[in-house]
């Protein structure tokens, strides 16, 4: 029998299904190789989130082997999947949920072009309208931090708190993205790789043409507040 009320259990089951399914977007958009990368989703209204097990093939990921964790990064004993170790980035995801209340999803990848910018410790400058739309400016670099404790999480929060960007390039490591939910964070990871690749290729051909700040601001505002179908039906249906 579940240790949660039926309403909370229903929400947990929905987030398990979402997080499990969203991992297939990372492979679809070729943002990860082998077992690299991870997606997590907060359980709304609870001090809980769901994340993938560590080092398990993407083909084997399923709602029941996603791991339910508390905000200190520990698996909830007795919950489905808790017999396995959670993602090695669980502490980083937990730190973000603990310190950024508006965040409902976190994604990590080593996507090729974005990680190349991270390896140089160079922020991606904002020279294309699609980047202004999604990120509202440059994608910043976060500190180099070793996996194993909350150092990566602290670096993500210190870099993204108060920043428009939903993506950070953790130096010498890779991309972490945040979103209002797991799907939104996956979208930011897809867009981050796209702008990293385009900006890299553009730079090979010559100087980049500056995009004025007032135009970046206007594009960001339109995309965030006007673009698409207001009311959310179409976006929700495309899950
Ligand atoms: O970045 C790293 C390791 O440096 C990890 O994020 C791996 O990319 C995926 O680890 P698991 O989620 O499978 O533990």
**In this predicted structure, what is the pLDDT of residue 233?**
57
Q: Report helix, strand or coil for 154.
A: helix
Per-residue pLDDT of the chain (239 residues; tens, 9 = 90+): 688 999 999 999 999 999 999 999 999 999 999 999 999 999 999 999 999 999 999 999 999 999 999 999 999 999 999 999 999 999 999 999 999 999 999 999 999 999 999 999 999 999 999 999 999 999 999 999 999 889 999 999 999 999 999 999 999 999 999 999 999 999 999 999 999 999 999 999 999 999 999 999 999 999 999 999 987 555 544 44
Does the C-beta of 104 come closer than 6 Å to ligand 1? Answer: no
Note whether residue 105 is domain-resident: yes
Note whether residue 206 is domain-resident: yes
Note whether residue 103 is domain-resident: yes
Each residue of 184-198: pLDDT tens digit?
Answer: 999 999 999 999 999
Does the C-beta of 140 come closer than 6 Å to ligand 1? Answer: no
Its pTM stands at 0.96
Strand segments (E) across the chain: 38-42, 48-51, 67-70, 105-109, 141-142, 167-170, 174-179
| Ligand 1, pocket-test mutation among 39, 108, 153, most atoms within 8 A of CB | 108
ipTM of predicted complex: 0.96
End-to-end CA, the chain:
30
Residue 47 Cα to ligand 1 midpoint, Å, equals: 23
How many structural domains are present in the chain? 1
Note whether residue 70 is domain-resident: yes
| Ligand 1, pocket-test mutation among 89, 152, 174, most atoms within 8 A of CB | 89
Each residue of 37-63: pLDDT tens digit?
Answer: 999 999 999 999 999 999 999 999 999
Domain that holds residue 185: 6-229
| Torsion from C-alpha of 201, 203, 204, 207, nearest 10 degrees | 150
CATH number of the domain to which 83 belongs:
3.40.225.10
Note whether residue 237 is domain-resident: no
Rg (CA), the chain: 18
Note whether residue 239 is domain-resident: no
Return d(Cα 82, Cα 53) in angstroms, integer.
9
Note whether residue 119 is domain-resident: yes
Return d(Cα 44, Cα 209) in angstroms, integer.
42
| Ligand 1, pocket-test mutation among 87, 112, 147, most atoms within 8 A of CB | 87
Note whether residue 124 is domain-resident: yes
């Amino acid at each position: 029998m579940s240790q949660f009320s039926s309403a909370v259990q229903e929400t947990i089951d929905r987030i398990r299904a979402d997080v499990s399914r969203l991992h297939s977007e990372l492979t679809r958009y070729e943002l990860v190789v082998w077992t690299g990368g991870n997606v997590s989703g907060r359980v709304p209204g609870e001090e809980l989130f769901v994340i993938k097990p560590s080092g398990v093939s993407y083909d084997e990921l399923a709602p029941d082997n996603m791991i339910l964790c508390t905000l200190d990064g520990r698996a909830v004993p007795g919950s489905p999947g808790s017999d396995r170790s959670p993602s090695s980035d669980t502490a980083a995801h937990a730190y973000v949920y603990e310190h950024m209340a508006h965040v409902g999803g976190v994604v990590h990848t080593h996507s090729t072009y974005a990680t190349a910018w991270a390896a140089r410790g160079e922020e991606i400058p904002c020279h294309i309208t699609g980047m202004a739309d999604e990120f509202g400016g440059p994608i910043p670099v976060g500190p180099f931090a070793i996996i194993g404790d909350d150092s990566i999480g602290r670096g993500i929060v210190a870099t993204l708190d108060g920043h428009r960007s939903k993506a950070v390039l953790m130096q010498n490591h890779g991309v972490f993205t945040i979103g209002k939910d797991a799907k939104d964070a996956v979208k930011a990871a897809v867009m981050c790789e796209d702008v990293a690749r385009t900006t890299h290729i553009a730079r090979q051909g010559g100087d980049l043409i500056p995009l004025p700040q007032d135009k970046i601001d206007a594009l960001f505002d339109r995309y965030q507040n006007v673009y698409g179908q207001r009311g959310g039906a179409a976006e929700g249906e495309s899950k």
